Structure 1
Amino acid sequence: MLINEIAKRTGVSIATLRYYENLGLIRGVADENVKTNNYKNYDEEVIVKVEIIKEAKEVDFTLAEIRKMLEIWYGSASRHKGQIELFTTKISEIDTKIKRLKQIKKRLENVKIELEKGSCT
Structure 2
Amino acid sequence: MSAHTEHHDDGHGHDDGASHSTLKGYMTGFVLAAILTAIPFWLVMTGQFEKSSTTAAVVLGLAAVQMIVHMIYFLHMDAKSQGGWNMLALIFTLVMVVITLSGSIWVMYHLDHNMMPSMMDVKSLP
Into which bin does the TM-score normalised by the smaller protein fall?
Answer: 0.3 to 0.5
Q: Name the larger-Rg structure.
A: 2
TM-score, normalisation: structure 2: 0.39
TM-score (norm 1): 0.41
